[in-house]
Structure 1
Amino acid sequence: MFSFHHTIRRRLNAFTWAFAGFVATVAAVQAVPNRVTVAWDPNPEPDIAGYRVYYGIVGSGVTNMVSPGTTTQQQVINLLPQTQYWFCVTAYNTAALESDPSQVLTYTTPANLPPVLSISGSRLAIVPGTVSLTGSATDDHLLPGALGYSWQKTAGPAVSGLTGTTTPTASMTVNAPGSYSFSLTVTDGVNQSSAVVNLQAIQRLETPPPGSVVPNITTSFQSFDGLVLGWDSAPNVSYIVAFKDALDDPTWRILDEDVPSTGSTTFWVDEVGGQGQQGFYGIFQKP
């Protein structure tokens, strides 16, 4: 079943065939960019064998024909967007006699809009681990299964086992901590849309990170870039930022293993922080 974005209703003068009472009238046209449904009033004669729909691009000199049998509507597919087409209908009887055509109805198909795209999937990975990203798209020109998909890694360390790059869902194994970016492009053959998803991969430790803990996280606030942490720091040293799910959890996840000091206070931004995760941050001075 197709949904129609635009509807034109226009009643044309009935046309009469060579013998009395043979009438067909184009009643309506409904269209989306590449599909049009033409409907008409049925003929009253008992010997009607069927109808034929003729159409073409205005000015092209090319005529196409489809026959729906005895039904009084026909969907015409694979039309070009933003193109003016003409349509008319004839009827034929059991003696294979065909009527004159109805009056011609013209219609300009709408513009083809780019696909509407969204991406779902994990934005946080623990290395080594498998990550799946799924894109979904809708289009006014094609059904979702007919769209073309293309995934690419645009930033970050190398990944392995990247599969599904031409399908809605791409999967890969992330082996190294860091920031990754993946882009998805969806095309309907005429227009395309692209979206980028960022992934943060972190390393899980079974013991606390080396170095001495810095007890004072003096600042934390949410910004447009993520959760900002600030702590008392010494000059010319570097820090490890780690995270764990519970206070008594012995397992830390390294979020950043080398944060240089910026003076008496050092700031760091967790780009995925504040997005529903709960836990505890730890700042460790590197030995």
Structure 2
Amino acid sequence: MHISCSHRLKLLLIVPFLLISAFQPARAADITLSWNPPTENADGTPLNDLAGYRIYYGTMSGNYTTVIDVMNTTTYTIKNLPEGFTYYFAVTAYDINGNESGFSNEVSKNIPSIPLYRLTVFKNGDGSGIVSSSPSGISCGADCDEYLPAGTVVTLSYSTSLDSLFSGWSGDCAGTLSSCTIVMDSDKTIGAMFSKKSFSITATAGLNGMISPSGTAAVSYGGSITYTIMPDSGYEISDVVVDGLSVGAVNAYTFSGVTSDHTIEAYFSPLQPYPDIRDDTTVYEDAEDGTTLGWEVYDNDPDWAYVSNIYDTDRQSRVIELNGYGLYNGYRLRNPDLTPWNNSTQHYLEWYFNYDEMFMVFVDVETSEGQRYLSYLPMNWEPSYSGSYIFLGLGDNLLNNGWHRVIRDLEADLKTVEPLNRILKVNGFLIYGSGRIDDIKLHSTMPLP
């Protein structure tokens, strides 16, 4: 197409319309322009080689400081125009040879300045939580202060920490609903109160004794409280029941990491005269019968481990020899019919061993807090625990291919880690590692050295 002075592109009316976002921190507006495409040249001949359009605009009528080539489209949005100005717009068309028409009719739009108002959020109370806004901006937390355009509709909502409750809004919001909506027609200040969760622990005592503190106590989320149980003269503690379950005749109990309500009840009975206690001993293994009754390989992977009864020249007696792949195999001694010992009266354990490689002994005990394994290592080891396993050291220099005697007060060993726990029954002797064992016994009193 060739354009001369008498052959110009003809544009029809530009139809503008305005879109302004309700909340834009950049304080700017978007304006969308649209126009009808021309269909003929200025001389009335058909227009067949139209290529695209250019938008011209500025802040003075007829003086356009910005031009945008929008290609072959008849609708375009100019974004982020600063507020506080009147903008003037015109459009031209151009053909495939780069020839450009004159300006279309001019349209204008005033973008007034919108005032900003300050939104301030504060938190109070002994709890913790976060207040956030929609549209985004407030996250208090870290950001508790924002300037927003007049007319902005803001919804504030909260989230609480695990240990806290929401207690209510204050200032320009009120009530305890999960959210609060405001319109920014002035500066706004809004408070959010968070309170620590609190739980009730109720303590009661039966006749002939007391529990302290008594009654109902309030404990904050994750907190702790210790109760002391004291019998009257001539009485003893017969049982302490926590949340309906017996914890034994303990003289103190601590609730720690509290996350719910609890109850504790103490009961008392008259003192009974102590019986005449003798050093009764139960021998579970001395190997002199020449058998391995009561023994089993309970961890048989690899599967070639076995238990034998042999004569040991150093001890001048028969002993039990455990043969396997070191700490990979485990052996257990129970009653001859392989049932648990269920020994509720003898808590002093004695055994002899001869090992030149690492081993671990586990004593299976039933306690007032559930099953425990008292675990003994042939080394110096500070008492510790992991789940139901309590680890203790036997000392060093024990893996020297010689016989050693071990005597353990099982109750005392348990209380090194769980001072309020107590043994109800001793059920069995377990050991990992290959070596020799003899004279496994339980005593009712500490045996002589």
Compute the TM-score of the two structures, normalised by the length of structure 2: 0.30
Structure number with greater Rg is 2
Compute the TM-score of the two structures, normalised by the length of structure 1: 0.44
